[in-house]
A and B are shown apart, each in its own frame.
Chain A
Amino acid sequence: MLSDHPFLTRRQWLQSAACGFGSMALAGLAARDAAAAASPLAGRPPHLPQRAKRIIFLFMQGGPSHVDSFDYKPLLEQHDGKNFAFDDARVLANTGQKGSSQRVMKSPWKFRQYGDSGRWVSELFPEIGQWVDDLCFVHSLHTEGVAHGPATLFLHCGSTNLARPSFGSWVTYGLGTENENLPGFVSISPSLGNGGARNYGNAFLPAVFQGTALGKAGGSAAEATIRNLANPLQNADECQRQFELIQALNAEQARRTPDDSELAAVINSYELAWRMQHHAPHTLDLSHETAETQALYGIGEKETDNFGRQCLMARRLCEAGVRFVQVSYGDNTANPAWDQHSNLPVHAQHARRVDRPVAGLLCDLKRRGLLDDTLVWWGGEFGRTPYAEKNGTGRDHNPGGFTVWLAGGGVKPGVAFGRTDDYGHMAVEDKVHMHDLHATLLHLLGLDHLRLTYRYQGRNFRLTDVHGNVVREIIA
């Protein structure tokens, strides 16, 4: 699709008043080889009719328990404390042993039905519960990787350990961006752990498709920004003078080899950086939002302030034309936030921090009409077991069956697809593999996962490797 040497656009800069001195000096140069300037980030037509133009992925790092949130299993209450044989993923991988004895553990949270669709939601998520008629639940997800690292990489890159481009990189590679003054793919508060930057990395795709990190997990969202947007030692005036000096020198140096489009591309990257430096802070500045909107996301309240800011930032970035925004609720540890091996009730604390902001985001997107062409994806790298880990007081990882939900851009609202067994352990009906989910999300964005390929080391690669089926049943 693209060459290994992408050039940046110079499409708009001549019209841009902000460009100033540098680009004026460059004008002659640019005119000569404007033809060579197809930007890899410029918007590109999709393969298929597009149901969603962009995605917000709300990543619940660590594996939230589906049987305590959205996958209601009355049998857990009935059989609480009893031992049954389960094919535990970890035991199976370690020893090959099937059917190890495990103690069923009921959910400490009550479930009730919400909305016209009557979906069951536990008391962990009373606010998200109000939106079930807009949500499309997939209860039969299953994935690869029993530990966080591999499963997190699989979720993002479709492989447990090989260096592969991340989902957002594939999307920006396929579609470009709607606003070249901002990065096309942003990951808000990504974790350093469990694959870290590889989860928003471009691997062998050209570097322009790499995700841009905004802050990091555990940091304050109020201070999260894009790296190097401002010079730490220069004021605005000095920055302007330095930029002008750089571009003046560049124009002078490029004069000697006027035919070199590679040099022109570098000069152009300064123009783009300069524009980004001016536009991005505005997009990230939440003070432009009304008090009502901020309150909607729970901003200003202790528990929800941080995640609320992340969600609101995601909306603003989407509105500004960013193609893929990931919001991570997590931390930097090897066993991240939702990872309740020993103390399941801690789930409540995490739920309180995300419930309101997520509901606020849904509400805000909807009332602005953005939900029509924005796809929201909520989920973790796997679910949790319906039985107690090591007969203790928490739940272990469960890649064999778990729930994610989608909303907006092209999915059926108010439905539930697929089913786990009566304990919620294994997906058994209408199973959806993570590869299938990837294929489906790409499809909604207008990308055919079989055709979205990149040639590297002698063969074509794709996000879904040699797998993946579009789950047509959930498409509106």
Chain B
Amino acid sequence: MRIMTHGYWVILAAAVAAQASDTPPPAVPPLPPAAPELQFAAEDLDFFEKKIRPVLVEQCYQCHSAAAEQAGKLKGGLRLDSRAALLRGGESGPAIAPGNADESLLLDALRYESFQMPPRGRLPAAVVADFKTWVERGAADPRTEVAAPARRGIDLEAGRRHWSYRPLSKPQPPQVANAGGPIDAFILARLAEQGLHAVALADRATLARRLHFDLIGLPPTPAEIDNFTADESPESYERLVDRLLASPQFGERWGRHWLDVARFAESLTLRGFVLPEAWRYRDYVVAAFNADLPFDRFIEQQIAGDLLPASSIADRQRNLTATTFLVLGNTNLEEQDKQQLRMDVVDEQLDAIGRGFLAQTIGCARCHDHKFDPIPTRDYYALAGILANAKSLEHANVSKWLELPLPLEPDEDARLKDHEARVAALESQINSLKETVKLAAAGNPAREGVVPPGDLPGIVVDDKQAKLVGDWKLSQYTRHYVGEGYIHDLNTGKGEKTATLIPEFKQPGRYEVRLAYTAGVNRCEATPVTVFSADGEKTIKVNQRETPPIDGRFISLGMFRFELNGQGFVIVSNEGTQGHVIVDAVQFLPVEPPRNAPATATQVAAASGGAAKPATGTPPGANAPGDATARESAAKAKEEVALREAELKMLRERGPRRPMVMSVQEESRIADLNVHIRGTVHNLGERVPRGFLQVVSTAAPPILAEHSGRQELAAWIANRNNPLTPRVYANRIWHWLFGAGLVRTPDNFGSTGEMPSHPELLDYLAASLIEHDWSTKAVIREIVLSHAYQRASTGDATALAADPENRLLWRMNRRRLDAECLLDAIQSVSGRLQLEPGGPGVKPGTAADYGYVQDSPRRAIYWPVFRNALPPIFEVFDFADPGTTTGRRNTSTAAPQALYLMNDSWVTLQARTAAQRLLAGPPGDDAARVRTAFRLALGREPTAAEMQLTLKQVAGTSATGPPDAAVVELRYARLVQALFASLDFRFQD
């Protein structure tokens, strides 16, 4: 469990002091020593006895006394049953500061300002006033300390007796007649104990469909089913299993399972930022499953890949890409308290690691010892300390995740370096050319340097349109300005004046923002200019003594993203400035989105809503400096600049791009963390050495002082003696094959999770996993070859009555196709599906995910997982919430699913495409087409009743003779869509 961010009460505690006061708050007085021999005046003690003690006893002792502590009900570590306890305080500090009511947390709490105490309702104002008086008069209090009983800690030894923490061994399967293998022996023995029997194996067509969906996530083609059902040799089933395990589609199915656990997504909820490099991690996961990467190494690469030795560049690339796992959290980049944000990121990582690999809810120990499991807060901060040494974000008003260059093969690297050198050379050439232009401009006090705002490209906000605060003066003294002059702050009233320039955008998008000013020696060297954009706010200090580099008029403030109707503007302030602050104009030049094909100048201008104007360089008209030769050379240089800039742009767009990867970086200073009392970053407790969960007594590797401990953490989790890791993963594999784990809470093996239905079978599988060198495919193979997996999903009245939830596995579970299988199956039927693997799936140039239109002929795993714009089919059919680790998806039944299948335009179009496919096929009668439709969609022939129903729908003639082609197509589309909506399509037997 986790308490809310406590930042707010820090703000509120200061609320009273904030009122109309520019005097600093009084310093906290030093606390008087808690001396028992303190003498109090009799009337003060009397006041305490009459007014204070009864209230404390009645209202507070229940949670804040020695008795409460003994009962394990002490709240906030605070006792109020002696003066010493009050002075010592609780987790948030001393409860009272005698003599100073306003500095006393107790009073804050009674006033419902920081804490709200007592929680059941505020005390009457008169009582609160009594407490104020009492504290102000020195907090007279005769009570002496009642010896506090020993604090009840977590009993780790007792904790280790919980089933999941016990050491792992490989149980012997029981002796059962006719058990196919160990798995069936465990299951049949349990069934026999209950006097139940398992049902028979499923028919071969059902098995073919089951294996295809479970192993590769795609329906079998009619031909594949025919081949399989025709081949009655005993090895045919095993051959099919091996073929599917070796298929490149296997990794796409099983990788997607892991992506649920890894809370994979390609954008962030807040501001909809797209994570453009996240797809590399997805491809890494798919490749890992296809290659059957041992799971222990899969763990190590994801947690500490950046720290692992690598024998080749490809290894290094893969290791680094794996660590994207750490930074996929749905981070609140705009959290303003960056210390809080840093700990929130660590918490999120710990949650993903804890639940994903260990099925432990470690996050519950962030604020207090875990309430149910043997995880003390110290353990949380021992682990958090490890992750806090990995930097995940670059902090700013809106912080940014890290993208690091992907290491490259030498030849590729050389090619990129060569390209980068060419870019750098060109940039330097452009800069020196600009210098020439600047010198020319500076050497000629411009007389003709006045340009009307309308002659400039993009959106120009002149000083005349600025909203001004304070006294600004219009000037035309330096005649090189936009519009009718420029304004300055008279070099007075520092900190009082601002100019706000608000553009009217006609198109959202990225813009280069430029400030125009006139330079001079009396100007300010660090004028603060703040740009507010869709990416937050950014302040740039401009040296206005220097001639502006662009046309001697503008300085670029950078590229920013703006939204329509959003709050995009620029504020120039004179706060903290020395010298004149100048505002002439601000220009917003549209920049085409990155990664798009190069746009022409006309397109750029059109995007800005204006007429075609060049986006850079000199505006039309004779605005060059006065002197003829200088003017000529300046003009030439400008022309050259324009040419070179165009060349640079081309080079950047056409040239190779250095691939980047989302990852983390070790902090330069390695440190331990302090306990954060109640999870609050501003209330620190004892320092905790980095370490692991104590309840898991696996020999913990020592963490060297100069190591972050991340590699050690990975090794500890991936250790074969860690009792949790192999059990958790074996259970996940079972869950993904049966729709329910042996432990049905796959992310929680703690005391609030479920117990395993077959503990010995689970341990057998976990041990088997390790024996097979952590091979996922080996365990899958063993499971799908069992009879348990091959059973029919049909009912047996006795078993159904005794075990309706099928915990004992007397049959196979009937399961729904998940969103991805539905999508892939629909596109298989329509014939639109393309099996091209990997690569980025997001349309180029997408900066934010809002309103992203999802459609692709590729498999579902390659559709962008956008947190604000999931594909509708994902949303409706219980796709995993990409905000958090999901080991088990919901399975819901709701009307929007029905509405989606009946009416969604994408489904309707797919049905129509499928109809065209059916009608374009080999000529045949309607019955043959109906059969094909059933075989494509459901993997079986229609029943007689189904045939009758559907033939009626497709074959009817109209009064005027045979229906025309469009009508026939519509009828078949209706048939296919009805099949998509039918039970046998949505479920897997």
Given A426-B18, A458-B372: A266 and B943 interface contact (C-beta under 8 Å):
no
Do B565 and A333 touch (CB < 8 A)? yes
Count contacts on B: residues with CB < 8 A to the other chain: 127
Q: A147: shortest Cβ distance to chain B, in Å? A: 4
Do A195 and B467 touch (CB < 8 A)? no
Do B498 and A391 touch (CB < 8 A)? yes
Q: A175: shortest Cβ distance to chain B, in Å? A: 17
Do A334 and B946 touch (CB < 8 A)? no
Do A149 and B567 touch (CB < 8 A)? no
On chain A, the residues within 8 Å of B753 by CB distance are: 458
Do A89 and B978 touch (CB < 8 A)? no
Do B893 and A335 touch (CB < 8 A)? no
Do A273 and B270 touch (CB < 8 A)? no
Pick the interface stretch among A11-19, A97-105, A128-136, A297-305: A97-105
On chain A, the residues within 8 Å of B5 by CB distance are: 144, 160
B39 adjacent to chain A (CB < 8 Å): no
Interface of A is mostly: loop
Residue of B nearest to A391 (CB): B498
Residue of B nearest to A230 (CB): B903
Do A392 and B12 touch (CB < 8 A)? no
Cα(A241)–Cα(B954), bound, Å? 11
Residue of A nearest to B870 (CB): A197
Residue of B nearest to A469 (CB): B116
Do A335 and B567 touch (CB < 8 A)? yes
Given A99-B22, A425-B18: A333 and B534 interface contact (C-beta under 8 Å):
yes
A186 adjacent to chain B (CB < 8 Å): no
Give the residue among A238, A250, A391 with the most B Cβ atoms within 10 A: A391
A192 adjacent to chain B (CB < 8 Å): yes
Cα(A259)–Cα(B498), bound, Å? 74
Cα(A393)–Cα(B890), bound, Å? 49
Do A7 and B8 touch (CB < 8 A)? no
Cα(A465)–Cα(B881), bound, Å? 20
Do A269 and B893 touch (CB < 8 A)? yes
Do B3 and A227 touch (CB < 8 A)? no
The 0/1 profile, CB within 8 Å of A marked 1, for residues 557-579 of chain B is 00000011111010101010000
B949 adjacent to chain A (CB < 8 Å): yes
On chain B, the residues within 8 Å of A459 by CB distance are: 1, 361, 364, 371-372, 752
Residue of B nearest to A420 (CB): B15
A120 adjacent to chain B (CB < 8 Å): no
The 0/1 profile, CB within 8 Å of A marked 1, for residues 963-975 of chain B is 0000000100111
Q: A426: shortest Cβ distance to chain B, in Å? A: 4
Contact partner of A192 (CB less than 8 A), chosen from B336, B850, B895, is B850
Do B868 and A334 touch (CB < 8 A)? no
Contact partner of B814 (CB less than 8 A), chosen from A7, A260, A388, is A260
Given A99-B24, A431-B113: A163 and B974 interface contact (C-beta under 8 Å):
no
Cα(A252)–Cα(B946), bound, Å? 7
The 0/1 profile, CB within 8 Å of B marked 1, for residues 76-89 of chain A is 00010001111101
Interface of B is mostly: loop
Do B893 and A265 touch (CB < 8 A)? yes
Given A262-B893, A263-B983: A144 and B946 interface contact (C-beta under 8 Å):
no
B349 adjacent to chain A (CB < 8 Å): no
Q: A401: shortest Cβ distance to chain B, in Å? A: 8
Q: List residues of B (839-889) whose CB comes within 8 Å of A's CBs.
A: 850-851, 867-869, 872, 875, 878, 881, 883-884
Q: B307: shortest Cβ distance to chain A, in Å? A: 28
Residue of A nearest to B753 (CB): A458
Do A465 and B3 touch (CB < 8 A)? yes
On chain A, the residues within 8 Å of B330 by CB distance are: 161, 163
On chain B, the residues within 8 Å of A457 by CB distance are: 355, 361, 745, 747-748, 752
Given A150-B335, A238-B970, A260-B814: A342 and B469 interface contact (C-beta under 8 Å):
no
Q: B101: shortest Cβ distance to chain A, in Å? A: 15
Pick the interface stretch among B45-53, B144-152, B904-912: B904-912
Pick the interface stretch among A111-119, A203-211, A352-360: A203-211
A48 adjacent to chain B (CB < 8 Å): no
Q: A299: shortest Cβ distance to chain B, in Å? A: 22
On chain B, the residues within 8 Å of A162 by CB distance are: 2, 883
Do B903 and A231 touch (CB < 8 A)? yes
Do A269 and B11 touch (CB < 8 A)? no
On chain B, the residues within 8 Å of A103 by CB distance are: 469, 496
Q: B259: shortest Cβ distance to chain A, in Å? A: 17
Give the residue among A231, A337, A427 with the most B Cβ atoms within 10 A: A231
Do A233 and B336 touch (CB < 8 A)? no
Q: A228: shortest Cβ distance to chain B, in Å? A: 4
CB contacts between A and B, total, < 8 Å: 361
Given A160-B5, A331-B565, A466-B3: A252 and B974 interface contact (C-beta under 8 Å):
no
Given A4-B890, A252-B949, A270-B898: A458 and B883 interface contact (C-beta under 8 Å):
no
The 0/1 profile, CB within 8 Å of B marked 1, for residues 33-67 of chain A is 00000000000000000000000000000000000
Do A458 and B750 touch (CB < 8 A)? yes
Do A267 and B500 touch (CB < 8 A)? no
Do A212 and B896 touch (CB < 8 A)? yes
On chain A, the residues within 8 Å of B694 by CB distance are: none
A286 adjacent to chain B (CB < 8 Å): no
Given A93-B7, A341-B532: A421 and B18 interface contact (C-beta under 8 Å):
yes
B530 adjacent to chain A (CB < 8 Å): yes
Cα(A99)–Cα(B334), bound, Å? 22
The 0/1 profile, CB within 8 Å of A marked 1, for residues 448-478 of chain B is 0000000000000000000101100000000
Do B890 and A342 touch (CB < 8 A)? no
Given A196-B868, A335-B534: A6 and B795 interface contact (C-beta under 8 Å):
no
On chain B, the residues within 8 Å of A161 by CB distance are: 270, 330-332, 335, 344
Q: List residues of B (492-510) whose CB comes within 8 Å of A's CBs.
A: 495-498, 500, 502
Cα(A399)–Cα(B12), bound, Å? 10
B247 adjacent to chain A (CB < 8 Å): no
A110 adjacent to chain B (CB < 8 Å): no
Contact partner of B498 (CB less than 8 A), chosen from A6, A334, A390, A400, is A390
Do B271 and A334 touch (CB < 8 A)? yes
Do A458 and B748 touch (CB < 8 A)? yes
A94 adjacent to chain B (CB < 8 Å): yes
Do B336 and A147 touch (CB < 8 A)? yes
Q: B696: shortest Cβ distance to chain A, in Å? A: 18
Given A99-B25, A342-B500, A465-B4: A198 and B467 interface contact (C-beta under 8 Å):
no
Cα(A433)–Cα(B8), bound, Å? 10
A381 adjacent to chain B (CB < 8 Å): no
Q: A154: shortest Cβ distance to chain B, in Å? A: 8
B431 adjacent to chain A (CB < 8 Å): no
Cα(A332)–Cα(B868), bound, Å? 12
Q: B359: shortest Cβ distance to chain A, in Å? A: 10
Do A333 and B902 touch (CB < 8 A)? no
Pairs across A and B, CB under 8 Å, 11 listed: A84-B21, A85-B23, A87-B18, A92-B11, A94-B397, A147-B335, A160-B4, A269-B898, A277-B902, A393-B469, A458-B751
8 more A-B contacts (CB under 8 A) besides A87-B18, A246-B982, A260-B795? A8-B893, A162-B883, A242-B902, A267-B983, A335-B534, A335-B563, A400-B15, A457-B355
Instruction: List residues of A whose CB falls within 8 A of some B CB.
Output: 4-8, 75, 79, 83-87, 89-90, 92-94, 98-99, 101, 103, 142-144, 146-147, 149-150, 158-163, 183, 192-198, 203-204, 206-208, 212, 218, 226-234, 238-239, 241-243, 245-246, 248-250, 252-254, 256-257, 259-260, 262-263, 265-270, 272-274, 276-277, 331-335, 337, 339-343, 388, 390-394, 399-401, 421-423, 425-428, 431, 433, 457-459, 465-467, 469, 472
Instruction: List residues of B whose CB falls within 8 A of some A CB.
Output: 1-5, 7-8, 10-12, 14-25, 112-113, 116, 119, 121, 269-272, 330-332, 334-338, 344, 355, 361, 364, 371-372, 397, 467, 469-470, 495-498, 500, 502, 530, 532, 534-535, 563-567, 569, 571, 573, 575, 745, 747-748, 750-753, 794-795, 800, 814, 850-851, 867-869, 872, 875, 878, 881, 883-884, 890-900, 902-905, 908-909, 912, 943, 945-946, 949-950, 953, 970, 973-975, 977-979, 981-984, 986-987
Closest 3 CB pairs of A and B: A458-B752, A93-B336, A273-B898
